[in-house]
A and B are shown apart, each in its own frame.
Chain A
Amino acid sequence: QKEVEQNSGPLSVPEGAIASLNCTYSDRGSQSFFWYRQYSGKSPELIMFIYSNGDKEDGRFTAQLNKASQYVSLLIRDSQPSDSATYLCAGGTGGFKTIFGAGTRLFVKA
């Protein structure tokens, strides 16, 4: 069974802090990884993707991938209350199926 595991949270951080979201995956064939943000009652929105080991930065977001450890993370710097959402980690093997984690709920306290 291919799985992507995340801590469901909630993860609570103060405004301005760094939020660190983590996930692990079981399928070594996974080639690409994605972070989707989902606000309550809304649809998922892709915010980051990463294919290679190392870090990838986009604005306040940094995705990190360690294929040897089968570990993916998302760092959100200078967290804002508007970042409060559920963050879904997802992995793909190149086919049409994306394996989603259960999501981590993030609360950023003003």
Chain B
Amino acid sequence: DTEVTQTPKHLVMGMTNKKSLKCEQHMGHRAMYWYKQKAKKPPELMFVYSYEKLSINESVPSRFSPECPNSSLLNLHLHALQPEDSALYLCASSQVHETGGFTGELFFGEGSRLTVL
């Protein structure tokens, strides 16, 4: 069983809808990530939270809005998406090294497959 849980597993939305993807981890990790993955491509980093603070935003369009309510939860709010945003959205978590970076080992959830019509 995965210790990083994502909901929903599948989401279909129109371009005017507002929806959210949710992620929860029970591994005690202090860093959480959103990745986007298109078919036959590697995961692309979107956002990183470390100790509930946004550490990295990879120039993601504002129609994607992340939120980290606490150390176990990570949300991705979606609004006015485009069909090209259809992809597998992966949440991941990792330990944070004592020097502040991360140990490198990412633990992924099963992903939320998003289709934008």
Q: Total number of A-B contacts with CB less than 8 angstroms?
A: 57
Residues 31-88 of B at the A interface (beta carbon under 8 Å): 31, 33, 40-43, 45, 48, 50, 55-56, 88
Known contacts A43-B90, A102-B41, A95 near B101 by CB under 8 Å: yes
Q: Which of B45, B97, B105 interacts with A46 by CB under 8 Å? A: B105
Q: Which of A44, A46, A92 interacts with B43 by CB under 8 Å? A: A44
Known contacts A88-B42, A100-B42, A95 near B102 by CB under 8 Å: yes
Q: How large is the interface on B (under 10, 10 to 19, 20 to 34, 35 or more residues)?
A: 20 to 34
Known contacts A96-B55, A97-B56, A34 near B43 by CB under 8 Å: no
A94 beta carbon closer than 8 Å to chain B: yes
Cβ contact within 8 Å between A101 and B42? yes
A42 beta carbon closer than 8 Å to chain B: yes
Question: Could you say which residues of chain A place their CB within 8 Å of the CB of B99?
Answer: 94
Cβ contact within 8 Å between B110 and A96? no
Cβ contact within 8 Å between A102 and B50? no
Interface size of A by CB at 8 A reads 21
Q: Which of B48, B97, B109 interacts with A43 by CB under 8 Å? A: B109
* A49→B97 CA distance, assembly (Å): 16
Of residues A31, A43, A92, which shows the largest number of chain B Cβ atoms within 10 Å of its Cβ? A43
A55 beta carbon closer than 8 Å to chain B: no
Known contacts A96-B50, A96-B101, A43 near B42 by CB under 8 Å: no
Cβ contact within 8 Å between A44 and B101? no
Cβ contact within 8 Å between A96 and B102? yes
A78 beta carbon closer than 8 Å to chain B: no
Nearest to A101 among chain B residues (CB) is B42
Cβ contact within 8 Å between A43 and B111? yes
Cβ contact within 8 Å between B42 and A34? no
Give A33 Cβ to nearest chain B Cβ, in Å.
8
Contacts from A to B (Cβ < 8 Å): 31-32, 34, 36, 42-46, 49, 88, 92, 94-98, 100-103
